[in-house]
Amino acid sequence: MVSFVMEKPHRMSESQNVVVSEAARSIIPNNSSAPPGFISISKKKLLKNLEIINDGERINAWVDSMRASSPTHPKSLPSSISSEQQLSSWIMQHPSALEMFEKITEASGGKQIVIFLDYDGTLSPIVDDPDRAFMSSKMRRTVKKLAKCFPTAIVTGRCLDKVYNFVKLAELYYAGSHGMDIKGPAKGFSRHKRVKQSLLYQPASAYLPMIDEVYRQLLEKTKSTPGVIVENNKFCASVHFRCVDEKKWSELVLEVRSVLKEYPRLKLNQGRKVFEIRPMIEWDKGKALEFLLESLGFGNSNNVFPVYIGDDRTDEDAFKMLRDRGEGCGVLVSKFPKDTDASYYLQDPSEVMNFLQRLVAWKQMQPGV
């Protein structure tokens, strides 16, 4: 890190010169009128160079965050969770949902349980090729049984068509494109617009042509970077870097940012080794959860116990929504401790399936079922 020694940094005009330390010589061109050990540079030039440095730092920050998006990477662990002791304190705060199963069902206290499930990393294991993230038939059978017991929704970053092709269960509610494309089964909704009796809500519909355009530009811009996969998720474009050599990550950040600078109404988020480009609207998986609860008739009811299970940063909006509402519980799917608003954890999709099977068995034992 270069430290700049500035004399009289305040009230300088554009034309005034600034004296900077020798350490900055490598990045700032020399100028002869400086005392020994210092170089002199016009403020204008200095600001320009600071911009370059800041931009470099921003890119480094993105690359650090890309590293952290891999849960097996040491940098993915928050610094607060580095020692054994801190690890066990994390587990105390976020115990296993399987170990706490009785506590969770007791907490539901006769309220209507509603289940929200993320797809990738929750129902299906994470794989290199997003088109091959299949869920097992056993998981599908489990989710089918689950939907007979509780209203069940899939909340995903994927577009509806793609996730439906994986899940193939018509009886579920689906919130695709990070909740920006919501559809319900033929029956059950009462308060919102229906299309062929099935709820359809698309808060970002005006952005459709823009996402399509940005998707095509991202494809073009990143085509020479080996391993990149660009996905069109209808209201969101996803740039996957799981299979991109780490040495190429800063180049990829520059490519993505150069496309996005033309689109100030889009924002860039990060998921598991993926950049998500989405409309800058106040809508996320948390809002989708709230919308679905309201559509199910639980808007202002305290007779509902939502359970949201997800593995990704984008699921944090839903975990937070549940915390803020003081309802139900969030379950983070992760083998590693992470900063989270979830209350419990499950290690992987097989533990998720185990938990869902136990919920089905528990429900079937309730009186009157």
Ligand X SMILES: O=P(O)(O)OC[C@H]1O[C@H](O[C@H]2O[C@H](CO)[C@@H](O)[C@H](O)[C@H]2O)[C@H](O)[C@@H](O)[C@@H]1O
Is residue 270 close enough to count as binding ligand X by CB under 6 A? no
Q: How many CA atoms lie within 13 A of 38 on its CB side?
A: 14
When CB distances to ligand X are compared, the closest residue is 157
Site size toward ligand X, by CB under 6 A = 24
Is residue 145 close enough to count as binding ligand X by CB under 6 A? no
Is residue 238 close enough to count as binding ligand X by CB under 6 A? yes
Is residue 130 close enough to count as binding ligand X by CB under 6 A? yes
Name 126's Cβ contacts closer than 8 Å, sequence gap at least 6.
120, 133, 272
Q: Minimum CB separation from ligand X for residue 308, in Å?
A: 12
Task: Please say which residue, 128 or 212, places its beta carbon nearer to ligand X.
Answer: 128
Is residue 351 close enough to count as binding ligand X by CB under 6 A? no
From the CB of residue 173, how many other CB atoms can be counted at a distance below 10 Å?
25
Is residue 128 close enough to count as binding ligand X by CB under 6 A? yes
Q: Minimum CB separation from ligand X for residue 206, in Å?
A: 21
Q: Minimum CB separation from ligand X for residue 230, in Å?
A: 10
Is residue 121 close enough to count as binding ligand X by CB under 6 A? yes
Is residue 283 close enough to count as binding ligand X by CB under 6 A? no
Is residue 127 close enough to count as binding ligand X by CB under 6 A? yes
**Distance, CA of 138 to CA of 3 (rounded, Å):** 58
**Distance, CA of 81 to CA of 91 (rounded, Å):** 10
Stretch that binds ligand X, among 78-86, 182-190, 231-239, 295-303 (CB under 6 A): 231-239
Is residue 157 close enough to count as binding ligand X by CB under 6 A? yes
Is residue 158 close enough to count as binding ligand X by CB under 6 A? yes
Stretch that binds ligand X, among 102-110, 189-197, 260-268, 270-278 (CB under 6 A): 270-278
Is residue 313 close enough to count as binding ligand X by CB under 6 A? no
Task: Please say which residue, 158 or 183, places its beta carbon nearer to ligand X.
Answer: 158
Task: Single out the residue of 120, 290, 341, 351 in contact with ligand X (rule: CB under 6 A).
Answer: 120
Q: Minimum CB separation from ligand X for residue 48, in Å?
A: 37
Task: Please say which residue, 56 or 226, places its beta carbon nearer to ligand X.
Answer: 226
Residue type at 261?
A: K
Stretch that binds ligand X, among 190-198, 255-263, 265-273, 288-296 (CB under 6 A): 265-273
User: Looking at residue 329, what DSSP letter applies?
Assistant: E
Give burial (CB, 10 Å; 0-12/13-18/19+) of 110.
Answer: exposed
Is residue 274 close enough to count as binding ligand X by CB under 6 A? yes
Is residue 126 close enough to count as binding ligand X by CB under 6 A? yes
Question: What secondary structure does DSSP assign to 292-324, as a single string?
Answer: HHHHTT-SS-SSEEEEEEE-SGGGHHHHHHHHH
Q: Are 307 and 328 in contact (CB under 8 A)?
A: yes
| Positive/negative CA dihedral, 254, 259, 265, 266 | negative
Q: How many CA atoms lie within 13 A of 63 on its CB side?
A: 16
Name 335's Cβ contacts closer than 8 Å, sequence gap at least 6.
71, 347, 348
Task: Please say which residue, 118 or 351, places its beta carbon nearer to ligand X.
Answer: 118
Residue type at 94?
A: H
Q: Are 117 and 309 in contact (CB under 8 A)?
A: yes
Round the CA-based radius of gyration of the chain to a whole number and report it: 25
**Percentages (nearest 5) of helix, strand, coil residues in the chain:** 40, 20, 40
From the CB of residue 10, how many other CB atoms can be counted at a distance below 10 Å?
5
Q: Minimum CB separation from ligand X for residue 180, in Å?
A: 12
**Distance, CA of 310 to CA of 122 (rounded, Å):** 6
Q: Minimum CB separation from ligand X for residue 288, in Å?
A: 11
Site of interaction with ligand X (CB under 6 A): 118-121, 126-128, 130, 133, 156-158, 231, 233, 238, 240, 242, 271-274, 276, 312, 314
